[in-house]
Amino acid sequence: MEPWKEELNKVSTKYHVIACWLAGVLDPLWALSDYSVIPERWQEFFVIRLVVAGLSLLGLAFRKKISVEMVAFIPVLAIAIQNAYMYGVMDAEAFQKHTFACVALFIGAGMVVFWKLIYSYVAIGIALIANIVFLKLFSPLSLEDIMVNGGLLTFTVAIFSILLIQTRYNLTKKEIVARLALAESNEILEEQKGIIEEKNKDITSSINYAKHIQQAVLPNFAEIDEVFKDHFVFYKPKDIVSGDFYWFANKGGKALIAACDCTGHGVPGAFVSMIGNNLLNQIVLEKDINDTSQILSLLNDGVKSVFTREKEQEAQDGMDMALLQFELGEPHTTPKSVQYSGAGNPLLFIRNGLVTSGIADEYGFKPFEEDMGVWGGDRTPIGGSTATGYVFKSESIELQEGDTMYIFSDGYPDQFGGEKGKKFMIKRLKQLLLSIQGECMVRQKEILENTLEEWIGTNEQVDDLLVIGIRV
The domains of the chain are located at 3-213, 220-471
Q: Is the pLDDT of residue 158 over 50?
A: yes
Closest to 59 (Cα-Cα) out of 100, 21, 115:
21
Asked whether 233 and 246 are in contact (CB, 8 A), the reply is yes
Compute the distance between CA of residue 165 and CA of residue 159 in angstroms, rounded to an integer: 10
Q: Work out whether strand 465-471 and strand 404-408 pair parallel, antiparallel, or are unpaired.
A: antiparallel
Mean pLDDT calculated for residue range 103-128? 80
Least confident of 11-20, 377-386, 429-438: 11-20
Tens-digit pLDDT profile for residues 292-345: 999 999 999 999 888 876 555 556 778 899 999 999 876 656 788 999 999 999
Q: Supply φ then ψ for residue 465, to 5 degrees.
A: -120, 135
Asked whether 243 and 464 are in contact (CB, 8 A), the reply is yes
Mean pLDDT calculated for residue range 280-285? 92
The pLDDT of residue 186: 67
Closest to 269 (Cα-Cα) out of 219, 201, 196, 211:
211
Other beta carbons less than 10 A from residue 200's beta carbon: 11
The pLDDT of residue 367: 44
Tens-digit pLDDT profile for residues 201-250: 777 777 777 777 777 778 888 889 888 989 999 999 888 878 889 999 99
The pLDDT of residue 342: 94
Closest to 149 (Cα-Cα) out of 108, 103, 106, 218:
103
Burial, 192: exposed, middle or buried (Cβ in 10 Å; 0-12, 13-18, 19+)?
Answer: middle
Compute the distance between CA of residue 176 and CA of residue 173 in angstroms, rounded to an integer: 5
Give the CATH H-level superfamily of domain 220-471: PPM-type phosphatase domain (3.60.40.10)
Compute the distance between CA of residue 399 and CA of residue 227 in angstroms, rounded to an integer: 14
Q: Is the pLDDT of residue 122 over 70?
A: yes
Other beta carbons less than 10 A from residue 267's beta carbon: 18
Strand, helix or coil for residue 438: coil
The pLDDT of residue 256: 95
Please spell the DSSP secondary structure of 307-370, one letter per residue. H-SSTTS----EEEEEEEEEEEETTTTEEEEEEEEEEB--EEEESTT----S---TTSSPPP-S
Compute the distance between CA of residue 339 and CA of residue 396 in angstroms, rounded to an integer: 4
357 alpha-carbon distance from chain centroid: 39
Compute the distance between CA of residue 377 and CA of residue 322 in angstroms, rounded to an integer: 8
Q: Given pLDDT bands bounded at 50, 70 and 90, which one contains residue 360? A: very low
Compute the distance between CA of residue 72 and CA of residue 59 in angstroms, rounded to an integer: 8
The pLDDT of residue 211: 74
Beta-bridge partner residues of 245 = 260
Asked whether 46 and 28 are in contact (CB, 8 A), the reply is yes
Compute the distance between CA of residue 105 and CA of residue 109 in angstroms, rounded to an integer: 6
Compute the distance between CA of residue 346 and CA of residue 406 in angstroms, rounded to an integer: 9
Q: Given pLDDT bands bounded at 50, 70 and 90, which one contains residue 188? A: low
The pLDDT of residue 320: 93
Asked whether 460 and 414 are in contact (CB, 8 A), the reply is no
Beta-bridge partner residues of 417 = 422
Compute the distance between CA of residue 324 and CA of residue 470 in angstroms, rounded to an integer: 10
Please state, in angstroms and as integers, the Cα–Cα distance from residue 15 to each residue in 168, 230, 255, 351, following that order.
12, 53, 47, 58
Closest to 317 (Cα-Cα) out of 271, 278, 280, 277:
271
Compute the distance between CA of residue 218 and CA of residue 164 in angstroms, rounded to an integer: 22
Average model confidence (pLDDT) across the chain: 83
Amino acid at 214: Q
Least confident of 30-34, 104-108, 163-167, 217-221: 104-108
Least confident of 247-256, 259-268, 342-351, 450-459: 259-268
The pLDDT of residue 14: 84
Looking at per-residue pLDDT, the higher value among 368 and 455 belongs to: 455
Beta-bridge partner residues of 255 = 250, 326
Indicate whether this model's pTM tops 0.85: no
The pLDDT of residue 284: 93
Compute the distance between CA of residue 26 and CA of residue 206 in angstroms, rounded to an integer: 30
Q: Is the pLDDT of residue 368 over 70?
A: no
Between the two ends of the chain, the Cα-to-Cα distance in Å is 71
